[in-house]
Structure 1
Amino acid sequence: MFKLVTWIDEKLRWNPDNYGGIVEMNDDIFGSDKLRVYVNHTGNISWEPGFAFTTSCPVDVTMFPVDSQTCSVTVMPWMTSDKEIWFNETKIVVDTLLAHNGQFAIVGSSVPRLNNSVSGNPNNKLIMSSFTLQLKRKPTFYLLNVIGPIATISFLCGVSFLVPSESGEKLTVAITVLLSLTVFLGVVDDNLPKTSDSIPYFGELRFHVDK
């Protein structure tokens, strides 16, 4: 979030002709290179203070690894009603503003405008913008390294019934396949999202196998 702050400093005026035609420069204030201002030769100083913040959204991993997520961030002006500031509906330019991610793909976005009445003054409203992204997990890695091996091992469980009883290896094959499935699900468990709000079906499958 950025807000432009400007003021005039009489001591920071100069004639561009005396300084190689320089009409504006970038300088730091308060002794920190993180607080930089634009200084014009007329003494006009512009400062755009800003900050970086981290936000999060709840994740439902029940359908992992073919799950979809919706994340929203609501921005609202503080102590400024619709009489003083107005937000227009816009859209998120995902091609230029967001970095490519190998785990999720952005399948949709929206920025609806919301109104919230000011407490004690119903004639004034706060204009809010809710930035929403629809994310879909890219399942290729999990299909090849999780679902594929589990499906193959599960298929071998049925194959064990085809082993002739007189060969003496029927029980050995069945136990070997079961142990392989149990060990592999233990490895899969390390790659599952760690959350207690929703349990992935793979986690429930591992629980029943261990049981």
Structure 2
Amino acid sequence: MHITRALFLWITLILSFIIEVATQSTANQQALHTHLFTSYDPGEKPYCGGAVNVTLDVALRQVIDLDEPQQILKINVWVRLKWQDCRLTWTPSSYGNIGNFIVPYKYIWIPDLTLYDSVSGEFVGLKEYRPNIYPDGTVYYNFPSVLESICTVDVEKFPYDEQTCKLLFGSWAYHGYDLDLQNKNPQGDLSSAVSNVEWTYVSMKAERHVLYYGCCPEPYPDVTYYLKLKRKPQFYLINLIIPSMLITVMAALGYYLPVESGEKVSLQITVMLSLAVFQLLVADKLPPSADATPVIATYFNFSLFLVGLACLMAVVVLAIHYQGNRRMPDWLYKYGLIKLSCITFVHVERNAPVKEEKQNTVKTIMVKGSVHKVRPEQKKTKGSLHLMEYDQPVVVEEKEPVSEKDPEDTAPKRVHQEDWKKFACVVDRLSFYMFVIIGAIGTGIVFSKFGM
């Protein structure tokens, strides 16, 4: 019973002490609030014998988006401000050893920090959080913000490009004689940055500038952060570059299609349309800039030219293959067919020159004997005539006219057709070699500009 009563007394004393401390703490805070803000005007800048020194530090949290066509950077940052207000000082021992005092932002003066190249209407978070005040008048104001700023994009080496975006901070109302803005560190804080799926954070350099504008003779200091980003090219390499290269290689397969298939030209046109689709995908990703042509756009244009050349040569090969019965000129046969066949390794059998002569149908009658008399009752058999010489039969041989379907008469036509077909094969093979050589050299030159 005595133990229970003693325990109850101890609990009562502890609770009383806690209540007294809390009451005293609340009273001290109320007293400190009255001391600081009774005659304080948050709309007035503190005048403490010179310009207010404002220190700025920016920590990158995440790059939300970099819109290349619109050239707008959207990022999440933590802004850290520090300045000294001589009107916000107190002696800690007089107010229950209160070492810091957190108040709503509307109670104190806050620098009008401005992002000069912002595309949004306001500085998000600047007037939504609570600053922390210390006894010597030092104010720390840390708050998160989402910034949207103009970022000039250079996509010449897309997708192996690096972008540098400027974040220029300064005061819009106060000049350098009233507010001196300085950067806390030479580099922005990247230690808390969340990785981005498309960009790698290279650096975030900070520099202080003092500028003079045409409106005013006073200096205007600013702090500029240079956020350097490097694109991760794997996505575009897998989904754009490699498929486009494979499609270009598909155009080479058209040289292995026989002319009789009728698909040589249609295959090349299909490849050109596929490359045009990939080119449109890249064009939607890049800004319409006339300052620099992206290397990947140059590659697509080169591929379209290469496939267009293959399509043109396919038409030429078809035209040569179907020349029909026209006789090939001797110079073309000698230099175009024979010489080029050695270069292109196409086997061609050399034919002896065949002369076409107009053959007249001639009936030759060979008669044995010198004096002949032909009677009306002569009988004709195939290949001979029976004539009567002095009432004696004489055999007269007659050669029948050469048939129009005689193989000897159609042989020259067949030789000409084979010559044209062989020449078409030679031109097709020569075009294939040109396609491979030009494609390899052009692709190497284009990709060397990426600095890979």
Q: Is the 8 A contact 2:170 2:221 kept in 1?
A: yes
In structure 2, relative to structure 1, the CA distance for the partners of 1:111 and 1:139 (3 Å cut) is: same
Aligned equivalents of 2:95 and 2:183: distance in 1?
Answer: 41
Which sections of structure 1, spanning at least 5 residues, go unmatched?
none
Question: Aligned match of 1:60 in 154, 168, 176?
Answer: 154
Aligned equivalents of 1:161 and 1:110: distance in 2?
Answer: 55
Q: Is the 8 A contact 1:89 1:113 kept in 2?
A: no
Asked if 1:170 corresponds to 2:264, the answer is: yes
Instruction: State the superposition RMSD in angstroms.
Output: 4.5
Asked if 1:137 corresponds to 2:231, the answer is: yes
1:39 Cα deviation (Å)? 7.2
Aligned equivalents of 2:101 and 2:168: distance in 1?
Answer: 36
Which has the larger displacement, 59-68 or 173-182? 173-182
1:145 Cα deviation (Å)? 0.1
Aligned equivalents of 2:105 and 2:166: distance in 1?
Answer: 35
Aligned equivalents of 1:187 and 1:26: distance in 2?
Answer: 52
Report the AA paired with residue 80 of structure 1. G
In structure 2, relative to structure 1, the CA distance for the partners of 1:186 and 1:108 (3 Å cut) is: same
How is 1:41-190 mapped onto 2 (pairs within 5 angstroms)? 48=141, 52=145, 53-76=147-170, 78-80=174-176, 85=180, 87=182, 90-116=185-211, 128-190=222-284
What fraction of aligned residue pairs are identical, expressed as a percent? 25
1:152 Cα deviation (Å)? 0.5
Structure with the larger helix share: 2
Q: Is the 8 A contact 2:190 2:204 kept in 1?
A: no
Asked if 1:193 corresponds to 2:269, the answer is: no
Scaled by the length of structure 2, the TM-score of the pair is 0.34
1:173 Cα deviation (Å)? 2.2
**Higher RCO, 1 or 2 (CA under 8 Å, sep at least 6)?**
1
Q: Is the 8 A contact 1:6 1:46 kept in 2?
A: no
1:144 Cα deviation (Å)? 0.2
1:57 Cα deviation (Å)? 1.9
1:147 Cα deviation (Å)? 0.4
Aligned equivalents of 2:105 and 2:290: distance in 1?
Answer: 46
Aligned equivalents of 1:127 and 1:150: distance in 2?
Answer: 50
Structure with the larger strand share: 1
Which sections of structure 2, spanning at least 5 residues, go unmatched?
1-55, 57-80, 108-126, 309-452
Structure possessing the higher radius of gyration over alpha carbons: 2
Report the AA paired with residue 100 of structure 1. S
Report the AA paired with residue 150 of structure 1. S
1:76 Cα deviation (Å)? 4.9
Report the AA paired with residue 176 of structure 2. T
1:146 Cα deviation (Å)? 0.4
In structure 2, relative to structure 1, the CA distance for the partners of 1:62 and 1:138 (3 Å cut) is: same
Which has the larger displacement, 178-187 or 112-121? 112-121
Count of aligned pairs between the two proteins: 197
Deviations 1:81-112 (A, max 9, x none): 5x985847833255314332221223344334
Aligned equivalents of 1:129 and 1:48: distance in 2?
Answer: 17
Aligned equivalents of 1:188 and 1:58: distance in 2?
Answer: 18
Aligned equivalents of 1:9 and 1:92: distance in 2?
Answer: 31
Aligned equivalents of 1:8 and 1:138: distance in 2?
Answer: 49
Q: Which residue of 1 aligns with 2:348?
A: none
